[in-house]
Structure 1
């Protein structure tokens, strides 16, 4: 079908006309090909305008960029989730959603103009060839990789390649003060969506998922199996800050907690066609306590899982009201390497509620900045400030009241932290100050922690005042103002967690941070006072 279009459409117009023609074909509209390709004044107008600019305009113009702007403007009139993906971004987005890419398998910083390995991915191509944390990669197949002017994207491109291809690396190892060459065979490198997992208590496991990619379900099952072997009979599923992903993956994951025949969700398109998804007999964690953590940045597939469990009276949803995305997109190829994700249906939770928040104003900025409005309204601090509509009230099979419109309201509310606490979170997640500081700290002497095993580090190591004061100096040099001493306990915990990640694993880091996590503390409190015969009653809004 793509070739057919290429014969009919000039390349430069493909993206513009694809909005009206190509998408229609992909969505299997009932119109005949003759009808789709018949004369259309709106399409002719776009055709002619681009041609006029291409052939008659006084200056040379990149008409491809004009088409990109046109496509974005068209989609901007629809909804905030119908988006255009230019060819330049498709590869990275596709890799992220697929769950792997082909490379040499390292995480690195560009430290003082040089690629320095933070940690080779375990059992990955570089790890198998003996690359160690702290190694500097100076050259790849004779091409220089150090220097201020080389962007990270170019470095990554040089290290990536076809599966099975070889790349000769020139490496400087500071601990041995020597330069050597090593040849690495490129291979598949996973992009983990199960960010971390560990045992929260003797019988409760914890799994953090950061998005729903192709590999997420298999990653989840692998993590769950390991936790069950360690004795997990309860589970905390952390979906905070998870923006979503594939609908089918969310359905598979929800199925793990729901009995066969339970409705997970249903979708409806503009023609009124309804498609329902039911749980199968494949669940591995049915009839066991599960706590789902959500916040204001949990969206889409995250909300599908939270809504499916809540509406089926399964588990306990803990946290704050979720983002509020109840629309389903389909990605469609535009024929030149770019694509469009077009909203094709709405989804509804088992009780029949839509949790899509309003986008009447049509402004992307207003839509995505609603977090600020929630903060100023007080709803991130108090459950009583959450605005609900009686017209959007629904009941679960056991009589629990739930609401549609604008996200999933949790069964148990946990307020956002103080400004100081949130600043520390931001320093860690968004700006990576902790990670940069710890990396530079390790660079001074990577042998100082070599005598500690993972268990010894977790149980015995404490961040001393010297390291704490050095971190304060590091932050002050970057003009960051914070009452560091008032937050000393949490800052020291985050310093230890970042040490754990760079020395050992993300799982150990998450475990250390978890000891200072308000939502996890709430889960432990709920679990300590609850029993199987006394489920958490909700909701808090009535």
Structure 2
């Protein structure tokens, strides 16, 4: 295996690990503390004043404070973190579930704001903005030909609800520039990606995070599938790094019977808080399957653990991340915040699934590296579990604590001939950018094409497969493509479908051959 291939999965996972770090389980609240730390706080304040007034050169004391806070937290646990103002604003926006803006998915393509797709029924969609359009100006503000920082770019497109912004747009497919007025509105940030029927009786719901709106989205998805004849449910939590505990609990409540324990927490004083299901569940009897992988963390593990420990359904996939720490947030006047671990959570059988972190934060987030090298992603027997952390469910099933949720049905990483790098690459954002660039010069070829015809066209051609292979190699990655042609073509076709027809069509394609879906339907 070449060096680039060997480390690609680790690099991709590192990005996901950051999402797990920032998107972990939260109990939000502002707190003010005083008492025995007053002397220490006075010492820090005096030192900063001393530096500010007497140090030989000008120093940004704010940066010193940030560094001090980070150093303090680095001696605690991996999920006690400091979020500077800009990161805190982004995190809060993401977890809120919506924002006010013009409603487009875009990325900077050759120093231009290129629209990948307008949000369906959003402000830009209603104004006639189309995929492939370039937004040149927002009002009088120039958005092309220079590298704008993200905050400046977003501020030009966001605004108050109902406010107008005149966009100057270049439409490459028609070779014309025009102006259009867009009325800003509230745009949802979906946490439920899709809800579709896998067969006549089995519904599928994909949750990407647990945000403020997740339970409402889940209920809408559930109602849609129930009307379509759903009697069995698959909930996909793969790559879901967590979010709000309450959302996972509400979904679990819908699936469990009255009085069944969902989760409990314990703080350093030994206080235990238990959360039980109520009698209001809307799906207490139908078959339930939860899909997890090595990037499913925190609130995802709460939901999976509640289902597994109550013998409610099967957990299918690979061992989850292993985050069992509860954070509370303390905000500062400058907009920054600290998330501090205040308790540990436990699944209904009493197991903690928090993986060890006594070798430092860097080693903690590199733990995926060890899973990769040990073969755990390919063989269930390679998963290391401690007999001392063995628990039994009410029906006598053995479950383990000490590091993630071990699935009931193991599904190895989708690989052929050592091609794990290909798998992670095809599920990354690189495919989205590639497809956009391919469509940018060929969009008219697909205009008006029905979906069945599109599938036939993509099946018959190797053009985009060959182009993608060249695209990857030009970007410095030497991966094995020839043994994975079908896999590569599947994800390329799916991404074309997403950008041309919407998210549902993407999942129509990838779920057909998804190994975890096959395992869920079989077991």
TM (norm. structure 1) is: 0.87
1:397 is matched with 394
1:110 pairs, out of 108, 121, 133, with 108
1:275 offset after TM fit, Å?
1.0
Mapped to 2, the partners of 1:58 and 1:381 lie a distance apart of: 59
Larger radius of gyration: 1
Mapped to 1, the partners of 2:286 and 2:419 lie a distance apart of: 33
1:17 is matched with none
1:79 pairs, out of 56, 77, 80, with 77
2:250 is matched with 252
SS in structure 2 opposite 1:350? coil
- 1:281/1:28 Cα in 2 relative to 1: closer, same or farther (>3 Å)? farther
1:490 is matched with 487
2:264 pairs, out of 259, 263, 266, with 266
CA deviation vs aligned residue, 1:368-395 (integer Å, no higher than 9, x gap)? 1111112222222221222222221111
Mapped to 2, the partners of 1:52 and 1:448 lie a distance apart of: 68
Conservation of the 8 A alpha-carbon contact between 2:316 and 2:411:
yes
1:462 pairs, out of 459, 463, 478, with 459
SS in structure 2 opposite 1:515? helix
Mapped to 1, the partners of 2:467 and 2:351 lie a distance apart of: 52
Mapped to 2, the partners of 1:279 and 1:353 lie a distance apart of: 18
- 1:186/1:420 Cα in 2 relative to 1: closer, same or farther (>3 Å)? farther
- Pair 1:369 & 2:371 matched: no
- Pair 1:441 & 2:452 matched: no
Mapped to 2, the partners of 1:175 and 1:368 lie a distance apart of: 44
1:172 is matched with 170
- 1:311/1:208 Cα in 2 relative to 1: closer, same or farther (>3 Å)? same
What is the 5 A alignment of 1:306-321?
306-321=304-319
Conservation of the 8 A alpha-carbon contact between 2:422 and 2:480:
no
1:20 is matched with none
- 1:152/1:46 Cα in 2 relative to 1: closer, same or farther (>3 Å)? closer
Q: Hey, which bits of structure 1, 4+ residues long, moved more than 4 A?
A: 25-29, 458-461
Mapped to 2, the partners of 1:460 and 1:174 lie a distance apart of: 23
1:106 offset after TM fit, Å?
0.5
CA deviation vs aligned residue, 1:124-152 (integer Å, no higher than 9, x gap)? 00111111112221111111110143344
What is the 5 A alignment of 1:63-102?
63-102=61-100
1:523 pairs, out of 515, 520, 523, with 520
Mapped to 2, the partners of 1:420 and 1:384 lie a distance apart of: 19
Conservation of the 8 A alpha-carbon contact between 1:168 and 1:184:
yes
SS in structure 1 opposite 2:424? helix
Conservation of the 8 A alpha-carbon contact between 1:420 and 1:482:
no
- Pair 1:134 & 2:132 matched: yes
Conservation of the 8 A alpha-carbon contact between 1:324 and 1:357:
yes
Q: Which runs of 5+ in 2 are unaligned?
A: 1-26
Greater relative contact order, per chain length (Cα 8 Å cut-off, separation 6+): 2
Conservation of the 8 A alpha-carbon contact between 1:463 and 1:492:
no
Conservation of the 8 A alpha-carbon contact between 2:419 and 2:480:
no
2:356 is matched with 358
1:428 pairs, out of 426, 429, 450, with 426
2:157 pairs, out of 150, 156, 159, with 159
- Pair 1:215 & 2:203 matched: no
- 1:269/1:463 Cα in 2 relative to 1: closer, same or farther (>3 Å)? farther
Conservation of the 8 A alpha-carbon contact between 2:264 and 2:347:
yes
1:510 is matched with 507
SS in structure 2 opposite 1:482? coil
2:381 is matched with 384
1:103 offset after TM fit, Å?
0.8
Conservation of the 8 A alpha-carbon contact between 1:266 and 1:349:
yes
1:235 offset after TM fit, Å?
1.3
1:529 is matched with none
SS in structure 2 opposite 1:93? helix
Mapped to 1, the partners of 2:203 and 2:184 lie a distance apart of: 34
Conservation of the 8 A alpha-carbon contact between 1:255 and 1:283:
yes
1:100 offset after TM fit, Å?
1.0
1:339 offset after TM fit, Å?
0.9
Mapped to 1, the partners of 2:452 and 2:213 lie a distance apart of: 30
1:104 offset after TM fit, Å?
0.2
- 1:426/1:380 Cα in 2 relative to 1: closer, same or farther (>3 Å)? closer
| Paired positions, count | 495
1:184 pairs, out of 148, 172, 182, with 182
1:475 is matched with 472
TM (norm. structure 2) is: 0.90
- 1:459/1:399 Cα in 2 relative to 1: closer, same or farther (>3 Å)? farther
SS in structure 2 opposite 1:172? strand
SS in structure 2 opposite 1:213? coil
- 1:141/1:463 Cα in 2 relative to 1: closer, same or farther (>3 Å)? farther
SS in structure 2 opposite 1:462? helix
1:124 is matched with 122
Mapped to 2, the partners of 1:291 and 1:99 lie a distance apart of: 25
Conservation of the 8 A alpha-carbon contact between 1:463 and 1:495:
no
SS in structure 2 opposite 1:110? strand
Mapped to 1, the partners of 2:278 and 2:179 lie a distance apart of: 53
Conservation of the 8 A alpha-carbon contact between 2:414 and 2:423:
no
**Range 105-114 or range 401-410, more displaced:** 105-114
1:417 offset after TM fit, Å?
3.1
Mapped to 1, the partners of 2:283 and 2:454 lie a distance apart of: 32
RMSD after superposition: 2.0
